[in-house]
Amino acid sequence: MTGHSEPGASRDGYGDALLDIASDERVVVLEADLGKSTKSCHFRAEYPDRTFCLGIAEQNMAIVGAGLAEAGRVPFASTFAIFSERAFEQFRNGIARTGLIVHLCGSHGGMHTGPDGSSAQSTEDIGIFRTLPGVTVLHPSDRNSARSLTVKLLEHRSPSYTRTVRNKTAEIYSELEAKNLEIGKAAILRKGTDAAIIACGVMVEQALIAADALSEGGVEVMVIDMHTIKPLDLDAVLMASETGAIVTAEDHSVIGGLGSAVAEVLAETSPTMMRMVGVRDEFGESGSPTEIMTKMGLTSDEIIRRVNQMLTK
């Protein structure tokens, strides 16, 4: 990991990217009354004529996005991750089924949001959108990767769902490193042969912390940032399977998320011992991000425990 003079959250990277691509007249931005929170407000301030504020009407936002895509525009729509689920039917039938290219961003995803409580802590959004045929699903780990991957969506030929988070996180990539990221291709952040950790979002930082601690004990683990949940990088999963032990780490339900996606690949191609660090079959509660993440086992300590559990066997 490298230092950054202006650390931020992945939602900040989304806002940065909208300005990066604003010179393309095809780009339009849609908001559901939460532009200040998703950071699309920066685009709105400079390009009000290409910003559509639709109020608390996420279903309508999806269909308006579809109409704009049909008219040749490239819509970037955003709201909270939990509210993106309201528009699932419209995204399915109006966008995914028709093949129209609309890019939806759900901010404030996962338990990392903390104080907002269980009603706002979306832990199923990735799993929901992953089920839609032809839809790309992204979950960047930091501000710079969110910025780079969002920019690359401008020329991406499929509709997409991107999850970002509210709280500031450690920088995983420098701006230059982030520019080399590719949609659908995982990033190998650390090499190791004893086990592999495949992580996404805020859990990439925890995976790197765990890897450092394990290394002090003589255990060298591979760390993979699986920023694209769909299409999953099959080569990266198979590379991880060569270690014989895989831990997936995500701030999302283990039902339907990254862990499920990796397990599906392994079951058909290379059965491998694995453990999942993620939200179990339960809702969250209100508390600080650290309190909630610790209670839910979304920590580097839990990753270490899972790795050691497999190596002991």
> What residue ranges define each of the domains in the chain, with the CATH number in brackets?
10-175 (3.40.50.970), 187-312 (3.40.50.920)
- Residue 170, CB-side half-sphere exposure with 13 Å CA sphere: 11
Give the per-residue pLDDT at 6: 54
Report the alpha-carbon distance of residue 198 to residue 188 in Å, rounded. 9
Give the per-residue pLDDT at 251: 98
Give the per-residue pLDDT at 5: 38
Please list the residues that pair with 74 across neighbouring strands.
Answer: 27
Report the alpha-carbon distance of residue 206 to residue 209 in Å, rounded. 5
Nearby residues of 313 by Cβ (< 8 Å), 6 or more positions away: 273
Yes or no: say if 78 and 38 are a contact pair by the CB < 8 Å rule. yes
Q: Which stretches in the chain have pLDDT values below 50? A: 1-5
**Strand spans (E) along 123-244:** 136-138, 160-163, 187-190, 195-199, 221-225, 228-230
Residues designated as active site = 58
Please list the residues that pair with 277 across neighbouring strands.
Answer: 249
Return the SS3 of 303: helix
Give the per-residue pLDDT at 8: 86
Report the alpha-carbon distance of residue 307 to residue 275 in Å, rounded. 8
Closest by CA to 277, choosing from 310, 300, 244, 243, is: 300
Token look-up 């109006």 returns 94
Backbone angles phi, psi at 293, to 5 degrees: -60, -40
Give the per-residue pLDDT at 313: 76
Give the per-residue pLDDT at 3: 37
